């Protein structure tokens, strides 16, 4: 809390008071990037092979290649540098087996895209030197040099708070503590809610791709089977019925397939968003712990001053630094909230739209089947 570092002008971060309270300074031209085109590469004359993704930022529009381990390196740098101020969500899981399977590569790419997108949307992260390097290095040499430089960056961890300028009056420590408690509680209950949804989503996914379509298929087969039996009756004039019954049976087989394919179209995105939020909420834990520790230290301040361990000036510095930390946390929470509202609004709309399409598709298929029967 008392450490000092002469921060360079261009590296300073600003927080100002917006409509919703303290907010980061957002760029007018938001950064974005596309992760695409996974390719198998190899090293050491083919002894080692890996998957390389193409990352194209909207700034240069020039693709750079990165392996998963580069993303992991970036994650480490970002956590180290910004972790106490900006919770950096974990990367999608590492995996050893099945790394080269198409399905897995596609899913990992999608998740890396989601992670990158979230990092791009963060005003502090997206502006950082290391992030810019990752997205737009010109050649292998620049990348290597930049890497080494970032690894040696000394302005990391709690020191980040000394680079933050806040255009607002100092905060009362009691307010700071209350806010921190509130955020802690919110992220905890949201984490529970998200896990809850993920649980039921998983169960639902299994049912929709397993037993349910099998049942629709069996119903379809049973109709078609009855139809073939009816065809052997030798009774004249029942081809309309048998044809219609066969059509109905085939429709239920189609429904089986639609049901089995549906989760990929809707539940998938709902699950991925919540999966991402689970990671994000998880990363809040460490960030909040730093804030809580600082609050405790301030509380100890009086005792320390009595014991002669710190002087009055130090105490003033501590209160000032704690205030900056509290503003940072608020800016960060406000960033989180506005993203959360955007993300959940979007994913719920996608989910409901696809669900509607699903039910309507089935209804229209059944209508076609119904039309084949004779109206009496």
Which residues make up the interface to a second copy (CB under 8 A)? 19-20, 182, 185-186, 189-190, 192-194, 196-197, 200-201, 203-204, 207, 211-212, 215, 218-219, 222-223, 225-226, 229-230, 232-238, 240-241, 244-245, 248, 333-334, 337-338, 340-342, 344-346, 348-349, 352-353, 355-356, 359-360, 362-363, 366-367, 369-370, 373-376
DSSP letters, 136-190, are H--SHHHHHHHHHHHHH--S-GGGGGGGEEE-SPPPPHHHHHHHHHHHHHHHHHH
CB of residue 345 to a second copy, shortest distance in Å: 5
At residue 125, φ and ψ (nearest 5 deg) are -65, -50
Q: Which residues are CB-neighbours of 83 under 8 A, at least 6 positions away? A: 157, 283, 286, 287, 290
Q: Give whichever of 5 and 203 is closer to a second copy, judged by the CB atom.
A: 203
Least distance in angstroms from the C-beta of 72 to a second copy: 30
DSSP β-ladder status, 33-43 and 48-57? antiparallel
What whole-number distance in Å separates Cα of residue 112 and Cα of residue 279?
13
Of the CA atoms within 13 Å of residue 339, those in its CB half-sphere come to 22
Rounded to a whole number of angstroms, the minimum distance from the CB of residue 286 to a second copy is: 21
Least distance in angstroms from the C-beta of 350 to a second copy: 10
Nearer to a second copy, 37 or 175 (CB): 175
Q: Which CB, 200 or 306, lies closer to a second copy?
A: 200
212 or 319: CB nearest a second copy:
212
Give whichever of 256 and 318 is closer to a second copy, judged by the CB atom.
256
Q: Strands 21-24 and 33-43, how do they pair? A: unpaired
What would the DSSP string read from start to end of 178-231? HHHHHHHHHHHHHHHHHHHHHHHHHHHHHHHHTHHHHHHHHHHHHHHHHHHHHH
Q: Least distance from C-beta 351 to a second copy, angstroms?
A: 8
For a second copy, the closer of residues 49 and 240 by Cβ is: 240
Q: In the complex, what is the shortest distance from the CB of residue 265 to a second copy, in angstroms, rounded to a whole number?
A: 14
Q: How far is the CB of 370 from a second copy (least distance, A)?
A: 4
DSSP 64-89: EEEEHHHHHHHHHHHHHHHTTTS--P
The answer to whether 54 and 37 have CB atoms below 8 angstroms apart is yes
For the CB of residue 193, give the shortest distance to a second copy in the complex, in Å. 5
CB nearer a second copy, residue 155 or residue 241? 241
Beta-carbon neighbour count of residue 157 at 10 Å?
16
Residue 234 or 308: the one with the smaller Cβ distance to a second copy is: 234
Note the Cα 228 to chain centre separation in Å: 52
């Amino acid at each position: 809390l008392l450490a000092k570092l002469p921060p360079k002008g261009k590296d300073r971060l600003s927080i100002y008071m917006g409509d919703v309270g303290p907010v980061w300074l957002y760029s007018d031209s938001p950064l974005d990037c596309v992760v695409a085109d996974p390719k198998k590469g190899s090293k050491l004359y083919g002894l080692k092979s890996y998957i390389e993704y193409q990352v194209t930022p909207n700034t240069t529009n020039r693709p750079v290649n990165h392996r998963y381990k580069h993303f992991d390196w970036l994650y480490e740098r970002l956590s180290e540098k910004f972790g106490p101020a900006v919770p950096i969500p974990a990367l999608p899981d590492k995996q050893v087996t099945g790394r080269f399977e198409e399905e897995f590569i596609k899913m990992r790419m999608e998740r890396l895209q989601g992670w990158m997108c979230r990092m791009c949307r963060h005003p502090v992260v997206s502006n950082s030197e290391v992030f810019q390097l990752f997205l737009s290095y010109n050649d292998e040499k620049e990348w290597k040099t930049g890497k080494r430089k970032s690894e040696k960056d000394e302005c990391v961890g709690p020191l980040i708070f000394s680079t933050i300028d806040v255009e607002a009056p100092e905060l009362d420590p009691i307010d700071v503590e209350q806010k921190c408690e509130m955020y802690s509680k919110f992220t905890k209950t949201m984490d529970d809610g998200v896990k809850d949804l993920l649980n039921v989503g998983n169960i639902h996914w299994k049912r929709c791709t397993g037993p349910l379509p099998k049942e629709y298929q069996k119903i379809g087969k049973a109709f078609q089977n009855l139809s073939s039996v009816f065809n052997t009756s030798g009774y004249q004039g029942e081809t309309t019925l048998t044809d219609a019954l066969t059509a109905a049976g085939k429709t239920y087989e189609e429904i089986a397939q639609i049901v089995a394919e549906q989760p990929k179209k809707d539940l998938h995105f709902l699950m991925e968003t919540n999966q991402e939020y689970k990671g994000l909420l998880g990363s809040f834990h460490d960030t909040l712990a730093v804030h809580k520790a600082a609050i405790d230290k301030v509380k100890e301040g009086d005792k320390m001053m009595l014991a002669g361990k710190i002087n009055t000036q130090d105490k003033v510095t501590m209160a000032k630094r704690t205030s900056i930390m509290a503003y940072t946390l608020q800016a960060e929470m406000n960033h989180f909230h506005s993203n959360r509202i955007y993300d959940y609004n979007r994913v719920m709309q996608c989910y409901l739209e696809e669900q509607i399409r699903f039910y309507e598709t089935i209804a229209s298929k059944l209508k076609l089947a119904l039309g084949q029967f004779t109206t009496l």
